[in-house]
Chains A and B, each alone.
Chain A
Amino acid sequence: MNLKRCFLLIALAGSLFLTACTHKAHKITATKMTSEKGGIHLEVKKYTLDNGLRLLVYENPKLPIFSYYTFFDIGGRHEGAGSTGATHFLEHMMFKGAKKYGPRQFDTMIEGNGGNTNAYTNFDNTVYYESVPTKSGDLNMVEKIIDMEADRMQHLALEPAAFEKERQVVLEERKMRYENSPQGQVYLTLMQSMFEGTPYGGSVIGDVSDLKSLTRDQVQEYFKKFYTPDNAVIVVAGAVNADEVYSMVKDRFGSIKPSSKEVREYRLSRDDLKLYAHKANYGRHIKLHSVSKTPMFMLGFPGNAVGTKESFVRDILASILGQGESSYLYKKYVTGKRPRLSSISTHNYTLKYNGIFWLSGDLLKGQNINTVTKNLLKETQVLCTSAITERTLQKTKNQYLVGYVSEIETNRGVAHFLGMRENFFGDYSFYKKEMDIYNAITVDEVKSTCSDLFKEKNYIMVSTWNKYPKKS
C-alpha cells in the first residue's frame, strides 16, 4: 500500500467532511400542516436531460452519506395475459450484471463500501434504491453509483443461467408472500376481483404458470420498452453537490436514446383511462380455504386514482374510520362493549389510474363471518353521520403532519418522498398542494364522500378460514 498517497487522501476525505459540516443541516419548522411560511419546504434542484431523463437533487450535508433512487414508470399494469410477473422478474434480474459491471459487481461495490441496495415493484412503478457513503477513500461513490446505474439501464446482461436460478427465487418469494400467507391470499384475491378486466387485475408477483413459462426474451422485451431515460426519474438526496451530480448524470446518461415513437405510443396506449374503469362483479363474498383458525377478511369498495380531490378526502375517511385505537370502527368492533373482531383497519389504496378502499380485520373466535359481514355492511349505511366530527378530522390532520415529518427524516425518506410525487404528478413539490388540500378538507366533505362510497353497496368481500371447504 502506498502510505504517502494514503495520508494525502485521508486529509482530503477529512476536509471534505469538515467542509460539509460548515453547512447547517436543513431544518424543517412545521407547526401546522401547511406549505405556507413555517411549513415543510425541501430545497430541491430539478434538471431534465435532452433525452427526457429527470433528475432531482436534495443536498443534505448532515452525514457523509446519500441515497439514490430510480423510479421507472413501469409496473404490473403493463403486463398482459401470460406474462404476469415479468416486471417484477426483471427487477430481480437488474441485480444480476450488465456489460461494464458484470455479475456480482453491482451489489459487491455497494455493500462492500458500506451501502445497501434493493428494489420494489408494484402495479404502477418499479423503484430501485441505494444508500451509500458519499466517499470511500479516493472513490467517489456518487460517481460510481451513477456509472453503474447507467450501465444497467443500457446493457442488462440477463444471463440465462442466472435467469433460471432467479426463477426459483421468485417462486419461493411467491410462496412466502401469498401461498403460505392467508393475508396474502385474501389481498391477492380481492385485488384481482376488484380490478378484474383492467390492467390492475393481474398479479405483480405473477401467476405460477406464467412464472414457470416466462422466457428471457419476454423479459428482455420489457426491458427494451420501458427502461429508457424518458421513462425514468432519478432522485439523489444527501451529502452531494447538485450541480456536480447533474454533470455526472448528464455525462453517463445523456447519450442514452429515448424511446422510439412506436414505444412511446404503446406506453401511452396503456395509460388510456378507459382501460382502468372498474367493471367488477360486486355484491359477492369469496371464501378461501386456508390454515387460519379464525376468519380473516378484506371488504373492498371501488376507489379513486391518486391525486384526485376525492382520493384525499377518502384518505382522511380511512383514517377516521379505521386507523388507530381511537378510530371509529376499532372502538366499535374491537374495544367496544361487545367486541366481534380482534383487529380492524381501513385503507384507501390509490393507484395511478384507479383505486380501492377496503376494511380488513380478523374475527374473534366464536364470531360468525356471515353475521359480521352483514353487520359491517349495515354499519356502512350509518357510520357517515356518527363517525366524522370536527375532532376526528382535526386528529387526522395532526397525525398526517407527524407522518409527513417522519417520512423525511432520512435521505432515503426524502428521495422516496420526492420521487413518488415526480413520478405520479410530474411535480416533486406536489406535497405542498397535498398538505394544503388535506388542511382545507371539511367535515361536510368527508361525510359526503363517505355517503357516496357506501351508498351503492358495490362491495366485494373476501375471507379465509380453515373451516371453509378446500374449493369454494
Chain B
Amino acid sequence: MKKFCINFVFIQVLLLISLSLGAKDFFSGKVKKLKWDNLEVIYLEDDRFPTYQFNIYFADGALSDGSVKGVTSAAFNFMTLGTRRFNRQDIADNLEFYGTSYGSNVTHEFSSYSVSGLVKDIGPTVKKICHLFQDASYPKEDLNKEKKRILDSFENLVSSPGALASRAFREESLSGTPYSYPAEGKTTDVKKWNKSLLSKKLDYFNKSVKKRIYITGPKEVLLIKNVVNNECGWKGQGTFERVVNYKKPTKHLKPKITLIPIPQANQAQVRIGKFLSNDEINEPELMQLGSHFLGGGFTSRLMRVLRVESGLTYGVGAFAGGQKQYGRAGISTSTKVESVGLLLEKTKETIKKASAGEISPANLLRAQGSLAGSYPFGFESTSSYLSQLTYLDHRGEPYSSLFDFPEKVRAFNSEQVAKMIQSLYGWEEQSITIVGPRSLKKILEKYGDVTVKNYKKFL
C-alpha cells in the first residue's frame, strides 16, 4: 500500500503538468474577446462540427424581482408565447424547424439565454430570438395556460420527493438571506404574474442590464454581429450589474432540522448543508477539493462509508461552490426510512473525522487526482467550456484560473482540506432537511431541534 501511495504522488505531479499543458495549448489561442460596437463578445473558435452555441449573459437575475417573485424567470421563459407578429405555435414551429434548442436560466445573481443549432441556420434563428426579445407580448390567454401548468406542477411536486427535498432545502438552509426564495417564484407569485409585469421586466433586461455574448462554432458564426447589434438592439448600452448588500445570517449552535412529511414514503430524502457568505467563498479550488473529498464520485469518503461499507444508500454527493456574492455547501442522499438515524450518525462521524484531520495521504491524493485529473473533460464539449468562461467572467476571475486549477488543487495539504471541511460541513452549523414520513420526528429529535413543516409551504 505504501508503495502504491508513493507512486501515486509521483504520478499525480506528472499528470498535473502534462494536462495543464494539454488543455492550455489546445484552447488558449482559440478564445477571443471581441467588441461588437460596445457589446462584449467572447468567441471560442471550434470548426469540428457544423453547429454553434450562442449564449447571452445578463448581469442581473431573480434578485431584480420586486414584491412579486419569479418575474424574471417568467419574462425569459414566456418570450415564446407570442409577439405582435407571431403566435406561440408559429414561433415554436419556426425555431424547431431548424432543429434549434433554446431556453433560459435565471439564477439569483445572473440570467442567461442559450441558443444552439446548425451553423447554416444561425442567421434566421438569432434574428427570431432578437425579435422575441424586442417584441414579446405575453398574450393573456397563453400566459394563463402556462400559469395553470406551473401551478399544477407545483402541486404535484409531492410525487417527486427528491425534487421537493432540494427545493425545500434551499429555502431552509439559506433562510434569512436574499437567496432563499426560489428564483422561479411560488404559487402566490405565479397567480400575480401578468403581461405588464413581464413586459417591464424584459424591457429592463433589454435596456438597462449589462450583457455579454458567448459564442462558439466556425468563423462564419461571427457574421451575426449585425443581427445582434441591429435586430436585438444590443450595442453595449446596458451597464447595470447586480450587487447586493446583505447581513450574514446568525450561525446556529446545533443542527437545525426540518422534517417535511409526505404521504406513503418508504424512503427518506436527506439534504444537509449551509449558506456561505461572500467572505467564505474566496478559495473556490479548496472548496471544491473539500467537497470532492467528502462526496465526489464513487470513491469519496461518504460514498465508501454510506454505500460500500453500510449499504445504506444508492448514492450520496457533496457540493460546495460560490457565485459572485454567496455560496452553498451541501450533501444530498436518501435512505430507507428505518435507517435515517444511522445515516445521519455515519455522515456526522465521517465529517468529524475529516475535520479533525483524519485524512490519509492516499485518500487526499485520490481526491486531488480525481479533481485535478478530470480537468480536461471540462473542455471536451465547447458548450461546457463556454459555461466555465461565463462563470469566471461573472465572478470577475481571469481565464488563467481555469488552466491553473490542477496545480492549485494538488498544492493543498491535509490540514487545509480538514479546515475547509470543518468550515463547509461543520455539523453544528448545518441545516438538515428531510422529506419522509411523519414518524421520523422522534428519531430526528436525537440529532437536534426538529421543526415539522407542511410541504405546501414550499410550493
Contact = CB atoms under 8 A, between A and B. Distances in A.
Interface in B288-315: 297-299, 304, 307-314
B152 A365 contact: yes
Contacts of A176: 162, 267, 314, 334
A292 B262 CA distance: 12
A90 to B, nearest CB: 17
A112 B365 contact: yes
A1 interface: yes
B15 A165 contact: no
A62 to B, nearest CB: 7
Counting contact residues on chain A (CB < 8 A from B), the size range is 35 or more
B353 to A, nearest CB: 18
Interface string A276-294: 0000000000000011111
Contact of A6 (B10, B51, B371): B10
A13 B10 CA distance: 13
Contact of B48 (A25, A115, A402): A25
A155 to B, nearest CB: 20
A64 B19 CA distance: 7
Given A335-B145, A411-B380, A28 B299 contact: no
Nearest to B158: A291
A16 interface: yes
Contacts of A131: 377
A14 B366 contact: no
Contacts of A395: 93, 96-97, 99
B183 interface: no
Interface in A131-153: 131, 133, 135-139
Interface stretch (A71-79, A323-331, A433-441): A323-331
Contacts of A247: none
A264 B312 CA distance: 39
B310 A112 contact: no
A42 B312 CA distance: 44
A21 interface: yes
A220 interface: no
A28 B50 contact: yes
A107 B117 CA distance: 36
Size range of the chain B interface in the assembly: 35 or more
B370 interface: yes
A405 B50 contact: yes
Contact of B266 (A180, A365, A466): A180
Interface stretch (B22-30, B54-62, B66-74, B190-198): B22-30
Interface string B403-444: 000000000000000000000000000000000000000000
Secondary structure of the A side of the interface? mixed
Given A13-B14, A31-B120, A409-B381, A326 B92 contact: yes
Identify whether the interface residues of B are mostly helix, strand, loop, or mixed.
helix
B96 A399 contact: yes
Given A168-B311, A169-B314, A342-B152, A136 B11 contact: yes
A17 to B, nearest CB: 5
A449 interface: no
Contact of A180 (B48, B265, B312, B372): B265
Contact of B18 (A107, A135, A182): A135
Contact of A173 (B118, B262, B314, B382): B314
Given A6-B13, A112-B8, A326-B96, A405 B160 contact: no
B86 interface: no
B387 interface: no
Contacts of B376: 63-65, 114, 133
A137 B10 contact: yes
A9 B312 contact: no
A18, A62, A166, A292 — most chain B CB neighbours (10 Å): A62
B9 interface: yes
B250 interface: no
Interface in A1-55: 1-2, 6, 9-10, 13-14, 16-18, 21, 25-31
B128 interface: no
Interface-centre pick from A167, A168, A362, A365 (highest chain B CB count, 10 A): A168
A326 B21 CA distance: 46
B266 A179 contact: yes
A250 B376 CA distance: 29
Contacts of A466: 263
A136 B312 contact: no
B344 to A, nearest CB: 16
Given A293-B156, A335-B89, A136 B14 contact: yes
Interface string B154-165: 011011111000
A256 interface: no
A394 interface: yes
A325 B80 CA distance: 10
B230 interface: no
Contacts of B377: 65, 114, 131
**Which has the most chain B C-beta neighbours within 10 Å: A107, A112, A290?**
A112
Interface string A164-199: 111111011101100111100000000000000000
B153 interface: yes
A27 B48 contact: yes
A115 B374 contact: yes
B330 interface: no
B88 interface: yes
A406 interface: yes
B335 A172 contact: yes
A364 interface: yes
A159 to B, nearest CB: 12
Contacts of B327: none
B149 A364 contact: yes
A14 to B, nearest CB: 5
Interface string B350-386: 0000000000000001100111111111011110000
Contacts of B161: 180
Contacts of B365: 112
Contacts of A181: 159-160
A162 to B, nearest CB: 8
Contacts of A224: none
Contact of A331 (B8, B12, B89, B314): B89
A178 to B, nearest CB: 11
Nearest to B267: A175
A471 interface: no
B47 interface: yes
A21 B26 contact: yes
A95 B298 contact: yes
Given A95-B298, A165-B308, A168-B311, 12 more contacts: A9-B14, A107-B297, A112-B369, A114-B370, A114-B376, A164-B311, A165-B309, A165-B311, A292-B156, A293-B159, A394-B97, A410-B380
Interface of B: 6, 8-15, 17-19, 21-23, 25-26, 47-51, 80, 88-89, 92-93, 95-99, 101, 117-118, 120, 142, 145, 148-149, 151-153, 155-156, 158-162, 262-267, 297-299, 304, 307-314, 334-336, 365-366, 369-377, 379-382
Which 9 pairs show the lowest CB-CB distances between chains A and B?
A114-B373, A137-B14, A168-B311, A13-B18, A402-B99, A137-B11, A165-B311, A325-B92, A326-B92
18 contacts: A27-B49, A63-B22, A63-B23, A65-B380, A107-B299, A111-B366, A115-B373, A116-B297, A131-B377, A165-B310, A165-B311, A172-B335, A180-B265, A325-B88, A326-B92, A335-B88, A403-B99, A410-B381
Interface of A: 1-2, 6, 9-10, 13-14, 16-18, 21, 25-31, 62-65, 95, 104, 107-108, 111-117, 131, 133, 135-139, 162, 164-169, 171-173, 175-176, 179-182, 290-294, 324-326, 331, 334-335, 339, 342-343, 362, 364-365, 391, 394-395, 398-403, 405-406, 409-411, 466
